[in-house]
Structure 1
Amino acid sequence: MKHKALFLALASTALTATGAFAEDVTLNIESWRNDDLTLWQDKIIPAFEAANPGIKVNFTPSAPTEYNAVLNSKLDAGSAGDLITCRPFDASLALYDAGHLANLADMEAMGNFSDVAKSAWQSDDGSASFCVPMASVIHGFIYNKEAFEEVGVAVPTTEGEFFAALEAFKADGNYIPMAMGTNDQWEAATMGYNNIGPNYWKGEEGRQALIAGEQKLTDDAWVKPYETLAKWGPYLGDGFEAQTYPDSQNLFTLGRAAIYPAGSWEITGFNAQADFEMGAFKAPVMAAGDTCYISDHTDIGIGMNAATAHPEAAKAFLSWVASPEFAGIFGNALPGFFPLSNTPVELEDPLAKEFVSWRGECESTIRSTYQILSRGTPNLENDTWGASVAAIKGTSTPAELGAKLQDGLAMWYEPQQ
């Protein structure tokens, strides 16, 4: 409550000191999250407006696939909103470099976030921060508790236990051990490689070493996750090669699969569709007692249009977004999208609580390819999709995949040359 009072007091002081809001100021927010419209209209905006008389807020989202183009067009035309919802890393960095996003590094509210949380919306040297972090998504595995009880399988914590569980479900024959296809490719990298990988490359230690050129994609830490993915194929069910992302979701929520390699963003949809009790477990460690690492991936932030006519009102809103009040509203209205502020949030959804509890047990990191390493051609993120699929299908060896990825990165990224 002290944090909340401080933020509101700061905002109130700013408004009183400047007299800027003798008349109502209206702020417009640009976003791609059109599925959140009701949340913003019914919960977030009323809470802010109640605490900040004189500032009105409109949430005006675009379709997700059109957002980047629509936003850039509006920014170029000078018609974009006062507040810009930020995708992580290079898309938002490009907006900052073009002068469209203001530097917020001097905002006191930015002190409420860790360096990892802020890294998705900073200049490469960390001197500028241009979006307030809102939420992350956490990777892991969601499982059917009823299936585990029926087959007598314990929730795995080590890789040996994980594959023993998969083998038990395969032998039982009543469930597909794990629901994931390779048709859409990105799942193999996002819910496969970058889910289990941090335990191999030790999270931020390995990710930063790769950026610095101190590690290579041919090192064991980066190749061994492909060796593990190569063992997944026999447990994914018949025809997994042609199975799409929605196919996998349906197989799991219909109760036909025991385990789903997941991101926490699935929670809301799964809660609505599955009629069985679910649990979650984090990526298994190699051996009991090993330090665990989780992909706690920065997903969404919000920044200020550098050309806004209402910078003080916009900063008042951004300071409120950094507050415990906003975190509590957002985290519970969208279970699986976890607030990034340092202040703990009491979550209500049991599955979301399980995911977020891992922050207290493990070291957090972000997806290995998202910062800096996918700016060139060939694109490392896209190539990691293909490599992860190839590992699962067994069409290339893990060593071959590491060598190909390393050669591609070295073609354009100087620290790896």
Structure 2
Amino acid sequence: MKKTTLIGAMLATTMLAGAASAEDVTLTIESWRNDDLAIWQDKIIPAFEAEHPGIKLKFTPSAPAEYNAVLNSKLDAGSAGDIITCRPFDASQALFEAGHLADITDLEGMANFSAVSKSGWSTDDASVQYCVPMASVIHGFIYNKDAFAEVGVEVPKTEAEFFAVLDKIKEDGNYTPMAMGTNDQWEAATMGYNNIGPNYWKGEEGRLALIAGDQKLTDEPWVAPYRQLAKWAPYLGDGYEAQTYPDSQNIFTLGRAAIYPAGSWEVSGFNGLADFEMGAFYPPVQNAGDTCYISDHTDIGIGMNAATPNAEAAKTFLNWVGSSEFATIFANALPGFFPLSSAPVTLEDPLAQEFISWRGECESSIRSTYQILSRGTPNLENETWNASVAVIKGEESPEDAGKRLQDGLASWYDPQK
């Protein structure tokens, strides 16, 4: 009898455990960040599940180049995951307008984000939010501290000091002053024009005025950054015209260049390649005492599949994404990708900490071409690529570049007509 009772008790316990586990909700996460798989499996998922028993997470990334097509196919077939990782601006807005991303404007965790942070994943009028901001990348300049010490220069604060530093490095002759090529085009716009530009057009003030039609690309704040770019060529080294993005990375990390016009996404890669100490400085202002502006660009967000049967569990997860705990885990696992929430974060990587510290000194903005202004033809983002290259190479004047881009934008964008 005792044996029978014991077996019965064991069966009952097993059945209860099975029932409990059957009640667990599993949220499947769609993403293009397949290089982040280990970070999710080893750090993010265990931390969330420890705090939220009953909710399991499954991270199922696709290859970055295939993500949009794969995700759209799954959404159309009704087989997409509960959680959707969101690219910024138009790609995600199209998903929202197609009814695939849920309105999460009233999510409690959204209170932790500024209007600039939310701009990559909100409707044009900013009335509806459809993804929680996860991370941004910050633009500036990474420099070789050993090279600066050898040449006897210090971090420049003004534009005049910046060119004085470049002149002294060039005169010294042991280093290429700046590692950037124009072969791949996008660097000239992303690490050139949109890196230094916010200091001229005053960040969000100018960016929003351009969208509203109150400023034009022929106005001085938009032409002036091209004037600075036109002065970069002598400092980029021989053969910069044929130099690719990987070439520039190698030239800097091998210690052959003193300065690298950068995005913070380089931090973790450069840490593993450079055998010298690195520092970073934000784009120098025109005059001492001017307010500094940085491109603190919205890069990755995360939202909820409007068709998920697990909406409450998904909201619980998205609220956690807005927490200090998630921000700290994510930022330290991926140095150079910075949390967008106002929740406090401590970064362990000194170079990443240097980048994020600028938020306390400068005003944040995002790349000028990414919201609304690149929806037509000609595409303003792509046009900014070739204009930046043409100006650096001396093939187009800053004024002509501004006029060409303005004419292209006005040809399809009503507020600029």
Which TM-score bucket, shorter chain as reference? over 0.9
Contact 1:22 1:54 in 2 (8 A): no
Q: Which amino acid aligns with 2:37?
A: L
The residue correspondences of 1:2-401 to structure 2 (distance < 5 A) are 23-401=23-401
Is 1:21–1:55's contact at 8 Å kept on the other side of the alignment? no
Q: Separation in 2 of the partners of 1:186 and 1:71? A: 26
Partner of 2:149, secondary structure, is helix
CA distance in 2, matches of 1:215, 1:101: 33
Separation in structure 2 between the aligned mates of residue 254 and residue 397 of structure 1, nearest angstrom: 34
Deviations 1:192-213 (A, max 9, x none): 0000000000000000000000
Q: What is the rounded CA distance, in whole Å, between the counterparts of 1:21 and 1:316 in structure 2?
A: 19
1:344, distance to aligned residue in structure 2 (A)? 2.1
Give the counterpart letter for 1:169 in structure 2.
I
Matched with 1:4 is none
CA distance in 1, matches of 2:56, 2:334: 23
Root mean square deviation, CA, Å: 1.1
Runs of 4+ residues deviating >4 angstroms: none
Q: Where does structure 1 lack aligned partners over 5 or more consecutive residues?
A: 1-19
Letter in 1 for 2:117: A
Q: What amino acid is the match of 1:284? A: P
- Partners of 2:323 and 2:356 in 1: CA distance: 18
Partners in 2 of 1:158 and 1:110 — Cα distance?
Answer: 36
Identity of aligned residues (%): 78
Q: Secondary structure at the match of 1:30?
A: strand
The DSSP-based 3-state class of the residue aligned with 2:298 is: strand
CA distance in 2, matches of 1:21, 1:261: 52
Q: Across the two proteins, how many residue pairs are aligned to each other?
A: 399
The CA deviation at 1:348 is 0.9
Contact 1:45 1:57 in 2 (8 A): yes
Aligned partner letter, 1:190: T
- Of structures 1 and 2, the larger Rg is shown by 2
Listed one character per residue, the Cα deviations across residues 64-104 of structure 1 (whole Å, up to 9, x for unaligned) are 11111111111111111110000101110000000000000
Measured in 2, the distance between the counterparts of 1:331 and 1:154 equals 29
Q: Which amino acid aligns with 1:146?
A: D
Deviation per residue, 1:26-85 (Å, 9 max, x gap): 111111111111000000000001111111111111111111111111111111111000
Write the letter of the residue equivalent to 1:26.
T
Secondary structure of the structure 1 residue equivalent to 2:336: coil
Q: What CA distance in whole angstroms lies between the structure 1 residues aligned with 2:324 and 2:115? A: 18
Give the secondary structure class of the aligned counterpart of 1:291: coil
What is the TM-score normalised by the length of structure 1?
0.95
Structure 2: distance between partners of 1:306 and 1:325: 26
1:22 Cα deviation after fit: 6.6
CA contact (8 A) 1:175 1:258 kept: yes
Residue identity matched to 1:145 = K
Q: In 2, are the aligned partners of 1:294 and 1:364 still within 8 Å (CA)?
A: yes
Amino acid at match of 2:326: F
CA distance in structure 1 between the aligned counterparts of 2:59 and 2:245, rounded to whole angstroms:
30
TM-score normalised by structure 2 residue count: 0.95
**In 1, Cα distance between the equivalents of 2:335 and 2:190?**
19
What are the ranges of 5 or more consecutive residues in structure 2 without an aligned counterpart? 1-19
- Paired residues of 1:135 and 1:339 also in contact (CA < 8 A): yes
CA distance in 1, matches of 2:22, 2:286: 61
Partner in structure 2 of residue 9 of structure 1: none
Helix, strand or coil at the partner of 2:163: helix
For 1:182 and 1:59, how far apart are their aligned partners in 2? 37
What residue identity is the alignment partner of 1:36?
D
CA contact (8 A) 1:156 1:162 kept: yes
- Which whole-Å CA distance do the structure 2 matches of 1:374 and 1:284 have between them? 27
Note the C-alpha offset of 1:309.
1.3
Deviations 1:148-171 (A, max 9, x none): 000101111111110111111111
Match of 1:7 in 2: none
Structure 1, residues 265-285: CA drift from partner, whole Å, max 9, x if none?
000000000000000000000
